[in-house]
Amino acid sequence: MGPSTSMSSWTMLRSIQNSDSVTKHRLTRGTTRRILHFARPYRRDIVVFLITVVLDACIGVATPLLAGHVVNAITGGGSGAAALVIRLALAIAILAVVDAFLSLAQRWYSARIGEGIILDLRTRVYDHVQRMPLQFFTRTQTGALVSRLNNDVMGAQRAFTSTLSGVVSNVIQLVLTAAVMFSLSWQITALSLVLLPIFIIPARRVGRRLAEITRESYNLDAKMNATMTERFNVSGALLVKLFGRPDSEAQHFSSRAERVRDIGVQQAMFSRTFFVAMLLVASLAQALTYGLGGWLAVTGSVTAGTVVTLALLLTRLYGPLTALSNVRVDVMSALVSFDRVFEVLDLKPGIEEKPDAVDVPAGAGRVEFRDVEFRYPAASEVSLATLEDVATLDRTETAPVLKGVDFVVEPGQMVALVGPSGAGKSTTSMLVSRVYDVTGGAVLVGGVDVRDATLGSLRDTIGVVTQDSHLFHETIAENLRYAKPDATEEEMWAALEGAQVGDLVRGLPDKLDTVVGERGYRFSGGEKQRIAIARLLLKHPSIVILDEATAHLDSESEAAVQRALSAALAGRTALVIAHRLSTVRDADQILVLDEGRIVERGRHEELVAAGGLYAELYRTQFAVASGEAPPYEQGDVEVVTVPAVSIEP
């Protein structure tokens, strides 16, 4: 059996494995048109690629014909037989050389088209996903999202390589081969095709069983990958060590791995059975061809060369027939992959810049909330069911988080937001930096509605340090340059010194080239926070948001971070979210936030004297600090302080 038949058998096997899930998938309207749009830049390459495929198919049929003429020339004899045989052999050799070059050209164009489409799709999806709202990432399974960038993009690529070339090549090869075979001997051709149903019907049953164990294998692989991802990150590894469970973890993983091994053996046997059956049926068909053809040749109905030609052509007939019997599934597989990629691209980004957006004034320090309302988007607005591994997404509209929030922070003022967990403090800070957009009212920075501002100028104006500042698994220098890509070493050292972490970094063997480890876990919490503050100083924003930057730190680390924050806040407007009320005492105004509303306003002394929620909060924290009372029982309480300092001209 020829190589094309082998490839076609594997193509058919893949089609059978995926047939159930693929054929039941409903394609989005306009998918084909969008695919053609992606293929447009490669249309010339696709034309050349298809020409090489057609020529290759023609050579595949021409070679057996020439071989038959060689046999006829040998058996016919005559004075010119030797010269004719040499010429025919030379023609076969030339076709073989041409076919080799066509094969290389076909592979080059196939790779060029396929890799180009992979590049286009991956970059489009990656860029689009980065612009999705934060809630998209809190709901989506990271592995499922990565799969869209890998598996589905690769599946889409096959549409223009193996699927397209396979369909065109198989159709042309089948038509030419069948036409030549029937023209030579319709009796032998008809007899050779009798065994085809005997192969296809059992093969489909084998395929269904293989599909079941393949799906189970994929599920187990996914679970093992998820287990390794969770256990091999720093937090997961620490938890396993703290609870002393490495043996049970290894046993749990081993049980799944053993099942994957068993499935692998079954897959190997089913696949080999399929392949052997294909070879057996084709060999039996060849035997029938030689038997009937030999009898006809002996009786003088056909020549010996015709029998040889038919036997050789038969190997090029079964492959295309079996492959084309599942061509719908092959095409649908490619279309489904494209459709799944387009699903992600069709999700609406949470934040978009207006065409006529304006820049926030340089050095802007005024922040204003005008009757702000906000609710988080429903799952159906920001996610996909397939990315969350659920049947359907929740379409229920979420309750408002902020309701009629109205205040102004003038440069030179210090404003504090105080309230229990869930009151909306972090959400308030995210609205300023436009991580989310308000659903009612407006947020202004420097007198410009953030929805009307250019995203670049807004990011340049605002800097953020969170409770658990993230550092990439890269060097200190690369993490710092994330804020300012063109920063010099002198600027980076100045930022590190300002953040009170310069001496620490200078003491490291690789200094700025030290790799921080996953999420910065090679450093303590206080050290990591100070590096994050250095990154903020390097950015040099005029407004700083500190979202509980000193939470969960010990006293010594907190003191070091507070010294670093003093440098970060100098000459800047700052929104600070913190637990400790000591940062609120000097505020010009305190806003008490409860259930999304501002329920109290005033200075520290005024609010304590008023005896409201703030006074209760203050007395509870003071008593806990003195050891006079148990912790506050009405819920965790957090404090947001918003100091604002005049910006120097």
Q: Let me know whether 93 and 24 are in one domain.
A: yes
122 lies in some domain: yes
First vs last C-alpha separation in the chain: 83
Q: How far apart are CA 34 and CA 47, in angstroms?
A: 19
- What is the crossing angle of helices 246-299 and 304-324, to 10°? 150
512 lies in some domain: no
Q: Let me know whether 420 and 331 are in one domain.
A: no
Mean pLDDT of 163-179: 80
What are the tokens at 362?
Answer: 């340089």
Task: Among 289, 313, 345, identify where a domain stops.
Answer: 345
509 lies in some domain: no
336 lies in some domain: yes
What are the tokens at 577?
Answer: 């979210």
Output DSSP code: residue 446. Answer: T
For the cut 70, the answer to whether the pLDDT of residue 28 exceeds it is no
Q: Let me know whether 254 and 336 are in one domain.
A: yes
Element (H, E) at 118: helix 81-130
- Average pLDDT of the chain is 77
DSSP E strands: which ranges in 385-541? 400-409, 414-420, 440-445, 448-449, 462-465
Mention every residue, 6+ apart, whose C-beta is less than 8 A from residue 46: 39, 109, 113, 160, 164
Q: How far apart are CA 518 and CA 515, in angstroms?
A: 9
Please name which of 205, 577, 185 lies closest in space to residue 418, comparing C-alpha atoms.
Answer: 577
Q: Let me know whether 323 and 410 are in one domain.
A: no
Q: Note the pLDDT of residue 233.
A: 65
- Residue at token pair 């060849």: 286
pLDDT in tens, 352-385: 888 898 998 888 888 899 999 998 887 777 777 7
Q: Let me know whether 419 and 321 are in one domain.
A: no
Higher per-residue confidence, 46 vs 519: 46
Q: How far apart are CA 465 and CA 544, in angstroms?
A: 8
What are the tokens at 89?
Answer: 């052999």
pLDDT in tens, 183-213: 888 888 787 777 777 766 666 666 666 666 7
What are the tokens at 191?
Answer: 């007899």
Q: How far apart are CA 384 and CA 365, in angstroms?
A: 39
What are the tokens at 566?
Answer: 């003093």
Q: Let me know whether 321 and 463 are in one domain.
A: no
For the cut 80, the answer to whether the pLDDT of residue 242 exceeds it is no
What is the domain-level CATH number for residue 181? 1.20.1560.10
What is the domain-level CATH number for residue 572? 3.40.50.300
Its pTM stands at 0.69
Q: Let me know whether 292 and 429 are in one domain.
A: no
Q: Let me know whether 178 and 326 are in one domain.
A: yes
Q: How far apart are CA 235 and CA 49, in angstroms?
A: 50
Q: Note the pLDDT of residue 503.
A: 86
528 lies in some domain: no
Please name which of 460, 440, 453 lies closest in space to residue 374, comparing C-alpha atoms.
Answer: 440
For the cut 80, the answer to whether the pLDDT of residue 59 exceeds it is yes
Q: Note the pLDDT of residue 101.
A: 93
Percentage, residues of the chain above pLDDT 70: 76
Q: 606, 627 in Cβ contact below 8 A?
A: no
Hey, what long-range contacts does 118-124 have (CB within 8 A, 24 or more apart)? 118/153, 118/154, 118/157, 120/38, 120/41, 121/38, 121/153, 121/156, 121/157, 121/341, 122/149, 122/153, 124/345
Ranking 27-31, 122-126, 495-499 by mean pLDDT, the lowest is 27-31
Q: Let me know whether 281 and 329 are in one domain.
A: yes
Q: How far apart are CA 448 and CA 82, in angstroms?
A: 92
Q: Give the confidence band of 328 by pLDDT, cuts at 50, 70, 90.
A: low
- What is the total count of domains within the chain? 2
Q: What range defines the domain where residue 630 resides?
A: 367-468+545-643
Mention every residue, 6+ apart, whose C-beta is less than 8 A from residue 54: 168, 169, 172
Mention every residue, 6+ apart, whose C-beta is less than 8 A from residue 336: 22, 25, 27, 155
| Cα within 13 Å of Cα(343), Cβ side | 22
For the cut 80, the answer to whether the pLDDT of residue 148 exceeds it is no
Q: Let me know whether 117 and 266 are in one domain.
A: yes
The 3-state DSSP class for residue 635 equals coil
518 lies in some domain: no
Q: Let me know whether 101 and 153 are in one domain.
A: yes
Task: Among 313, 345, 377, identify where a domain stops.
Answer: 345
243 lies in some domain: yes
538 lies in some domain: no
Q: Let me know whether 59 and 191 are in one domain.
A: yes
Q: Phi/psi of residue 486, each to 5°?
A: -100, 15
Task: Among 310, 345, 380, identify where a domain stops.
Answer: 345
